[in-house]
Structure 1
């Protein structure tokens, strides 16, 4: 067996998977720190996905260590399967099932289409079920040189995963486009969500398709395995990215308290009227003082309300100010 296309490619896949696992750790920490009030079901879901992803990386590391270190001087060992290499398939399959069902729920919430949601769930279950079949067959085959007998299992399973991801991405984009309101802020948010859906769906579906093609054409090497290991990490990070992006998306529609876009609910201040400045004709100024807080910065904002009726005036007639007020904020 050629080492560069077998365990060489698997080793490279392990390195890339380890880098993506670092992103998973960062996103998991950010999630639990930012969303402590999330439902317990969502918190448990994140914990389960993180545990499966960690277990997958550990199993992959054990397998590579067994082949390249413990059996360094035994070429015959390279053609045999090991328990860690066999079990890692199920971890990725279960991760794909959970993530695809999570996004299927989003499709259901947006569309209310039970048939479409059921199709996605069935495809996800086929992906996981055939992954279990692949693991059982690996234990029975003993030698990885016989993987050509499992082409139909891998092609059908990963093909189902790719189909589910494409359906999810297309469904979310379609129903998001139908939700456009014509308002700039809302439509901009919808465009962002469409970009997220296309990115996450296309990445996982393309990786699954590459796994199918490489395994079907080169079943005796591990080029497909490198992409398969990266695929699982992409599933996990797509789920965590969807959860962690909620606050930033809400901020674009409605500013959150305590952010730089929100200046309400600030401490009370006292006002003392001063005579109008001779340089201002239609604006009034106020002297503001805040007791007990030296060195505070006050921002004085003057607003006016303009009213114009299209029935009483022409389109080019100037609007007249009706009310004016001055408000202040302390920073």
Structure 2
């Protein structure tokens, strides 16, 4: 029996080691189901727009997400089923565990690049320095990711993971920092995009809430994995938490893409109620001029707006003893 096996046997508690990996895979499968729903909603709402960069990005993230789930399922199956009670096999790091680290890095780094792409579009005409700063930070994070992959592939048994804790801390810390920079930049750009009109400002506020919530979710998961690794380095609880990171990043980005449609549906409902209320107080014997605040909404650039989506503005004029006249104008939002 090898010395690494003898070192691990007294510390091997299946509940906090491979049991933690099993729980991580279970929750990762649930999050993968949520990402399937998110992707389905996105493609359904864009089914008539043809092939676009956003569609290709969503499809690419879904493929990587599915591959990541397959790899971690194989990893747990290898230890708990195929090599059940085989202590020598339990101490070795299987190939699927190492490969899922690469897929994990590709997903997280890819989502950061997609967020950076959104920042560049929203910052157009507003700020030139901010996209450069964010781009340098995001690209610098790739060096940390490469260092993690290099360190993982030098490990052959789980006891070697204790020697590369520095790479885990550095990677998780960098991810949290990049999440903070991206969320802060998007919130700043949305803040300076305010127009002073309640309808557009309300939508921008809700988008900022989406950005902050999704950024906090991934950051909290990264910090939790870092803390558990520091406090309990002898078990695999932090690895089970890391299984969830890729799923959370995919879901957070898809949720941001779909946020506009949820907000638009609520806005259309509110506008419909407002039009009905105004129509109910109409008096044919009075000259009434209805507020035309809706005309200013066409100039607002939405972070997740698709080019094919139009907004309808109603301008109503009233004359004595004549029906209400309705003028319909359509303005396309620019692609963001």
| TM-score, length basis structure 1 | 0.75
Q: 1:11 aligns with which of 3, 6, 22?
A: 22
1:96 aligned residue: 108
Conservation of the 8 A alpha-carbon contact between 2:123 and 2:131: no
User: Does the 8 Å contact 1:300/1:326 carry over to 2?
Assistant: no
Deviates more, 1:180-189 or 1:20-29: 180-189
Structure 1 residue 119, shift from structure 2 partner: 4.0
Q: Please, which runs of 5 or more residues in structure 1 have no aligned partner?
A: 263-298, 308-320
Contact 2:151–2:167, Cα closer than 8 Å, also in 1: no
Match in the other structure for 2:323: 326
Q: CA deviation at 1:32?
A: 1.3
Task: Give deviations 1:38-58, integer Å, cap 9, x for gaps.
Answer: 652211111110000000000
Match status 1:226 vs 2:264? no
**Equivalenced residues, count:** 278
What's the offset of the Cα at 1:131?
3.6
- Distance, in Å, in 2 between the alignment partners of 1:242 and 1:324 is 48
Aligned-residue Cα RMSD (Å) equals 3.0
Which residue of 201, 206, 220 corresponds with 1:192?
206
Does residue 1:26 correspond to 2:40, yes or no? no
- Could you tell me which residue of structure 1 aligns to residue 55 of structure 2? 43
Q: Structure 2 CA distance, aligned partners of 1:146 and 1:158?
A: 19
- Identify the residue that residue 197 of structure 2 maps to in structure 1: 183
Query: Which secondary structure does the structure 1 equivalent of 2:16 belong to?
Result: coil
Q: Which has the higher helix share?
A: 2
1:242 aligned to 2:256? yes
Cα deviation code 1:248-302 (max 9, x no counterpart): 334566x49xx9949xxxxxxxxxxxxxxxxxxxxxxxxxxxxxxxxxxxx9995
Q: Flag the structure with larger Rg.
A: 1
| Structure with more contact order per residue of length (Cα contacts < 8 Å, sep ≥ 6) | 2
Q: Deviations over 1:201-226 (max 9, x none)?
A: 11111111222222234333211112
Work out whether 1:72 is the aligned partner of 2:84. Answer: yes
The whole-number CA distance in structure 2 between the counterparts of 1:184 and 1:125 is: 37
